[in-house]
Amino acid sequence: MDTENLSAPPHAQSRPAANKPPNRRRPHSSGGLIHDNTRHTERFTVIGNHLAQHPELSLLAIGLGVHLQSLPKGAQVDIKTLTGRFPEGATRIAAALRELEDHGYLRRKRERVPDGRIITRTISCNQPGRNQPGRDLHADRETTRSAHPTPQTAKKKPAPRKRPLPAVPPPGCKAPALLQQATDLLADLRRHDSRLLLSACDTAHLAPGVAAWLERDVTPSAVRHALTSDLPDEPLRRPAALPAHRLTAQLPPLPPFRAPAPPPATRHPFQNCDGCHRVFRSPIPGRCRDCRIPAAPAT
């Protein structure tokens, strides 16, 4: 008998399920990466592809993350040690550490040692998001509070303070009637412009400034025109701020000093001079002015 063909299959092979052809990897026509792998039996580290092929980490951060996962427990991984180990500078290494920390591959934990010092422990995570019971970093707490504020945190947040109104010029005389006239003028501004609706607190702040204008011989209509004319078209965020600014910036000067008019001369009754019997005006009888002045001696 002839020799059996040992290279022929003993029976026909069935196609895989779902009529899929066998997984035959064809060499890429344009070239590409080819692995020449040898199985490790000692001194190796298992690295997840989520780190080795991370889409957002820089190449330096990926390499530094792989290096940290390969180090034994207790190894020094501060920036000074890493700078002495690698050619990259401290700035680039610090930036790579921050990248790993932002993506969960690195955690830093502050602890107090028995001698009272506070040290920072670095924790390398091969799978971020798992087995993190000690995630109590100050930076993590601040990030969590800012991203998800609790009701207690929201209550303690102080409300923004309003800036105080500009100061107004004080009047020289704080007469109650003058201040009341200034208050009535301010309360009437909303009739000329509805945006100038002032609160009681704002009116009390502006009233001395309006009184300073009124005591400088400025009529109420002129003061009202100065506060309501040429206002901007957009809504007023603080209706009292613009009048307060104008009361100070456009304050008119003091009126010129006017000397009081002299009192009218008193008209005395007529009197007869006891010396020359002439008639003159005087409050009391006696001699006239010529008789009171002695005559000059003759030369």
Architecture of domain 49-151: Orthogonal Bundle (1.10)
Phi and psi at 157, nearest 5°, equal: -70, 120
Within 10 Å of residue 110's Cβ, how many Cβ atoms?
A: 11
pLDDT reported for residue 139: 44
- Quote the pLDDT of residue 29: 54
pLDDT at position 275 is 84
pLDDT at 172: 86
The pLDDT value given to residue 92: 92
Q: Along the chain (299 residues), what's the average pLDDT of each consecutive run of 10 residues?
A: 47 50 53 86 87 91 91 88 90 91 87 83 84 48 48 55 83 88 92 89 92 91 91 83 91 78 76 84 86 66
- Indicate the pTM of the whole model: 0.37
Map out the domains of the chain as residue ranges. 49-151, 176-249
d(CA 169, CA 167): 7
Task: Provide the pLDDT for residue 155.
Answer: 54
Burial category of 160 from C-beta neighbours within 10 Å (exposed 0-12, middle 13-18, buried 19 and up): exposed
